[in-house]
A = this chain, B = another copy of it.
Amino acid sequence: MIGKLSGEDRDRELADLPEWTVIAEPEGIRRRFVFADFNAAFGFMTRVALLAEQANHHPEWFNVYNRVDITLTTHDAGGLSRRDIDMAKAIDALLA
C-alpha cells in the first residue's frame, strides 16, 4: 500500500508542481485548465483518462464547457502520495 507524503518529501515534490494548489477536502492537489472550447477540453480529458487507466490512478474531475478542474488524491493513503505527484507531472507534460 502506498504511503502519504509528508514533511520534506512532500515539500520537494510540490515545488515541482507550481500550477497545482494544495487543498484540504479531499486532501490533495487541484489544478484548473481552460481551453478554447469543449472540443479541446474533452480532448484533453480523453488523454488524461488514458494516462489514468495506464497508471490505475484516477482523478476526481469536473468539466463545464472549456474548463476542467482536476483533483488528485490517494484514498488508500488518506492524502497526497507519490502516485498523485506522478500523475500531476504526466498531466502537465501533456500541455508542455
Chain A residues within CB distance 8 Å of chain B: 38-39, 42, 45-46, 49, 52-53, 58-65
Say how many copies of this protein the assembly contains.
2
Min CB gap A43→B, angstroms: 9
Q: Which of B39, B52, B53, B62 contacts A60 (CB 8 A)?
A: B62
Q: How far is the CA of A42 from the CA of B62 in the complex (A)?
A: 13
Q: Which of B38, B45, B60, B62 contacts A58 (CB 8 A)?
A: B38
Is there contact, CB below 8 Å, between B61 and A62? yes
Q: Which of B39, B46, B63, B65 contacts A46 (CB 8 A)?
A: B46
> A26's closest neighbor in chain B, by CB?
B64
Q: How far is the CA of A49 from the CA of B68 in the complex (A)?
A: 14
Residues of B within 8 A of A60 (CB): 62-64
Residues of B within 8 A of A63 (CB): 59-61
Looking at A39, A46, A58, A61, the one whose CB has the most chain B CB atoms below 10 A away is: A58
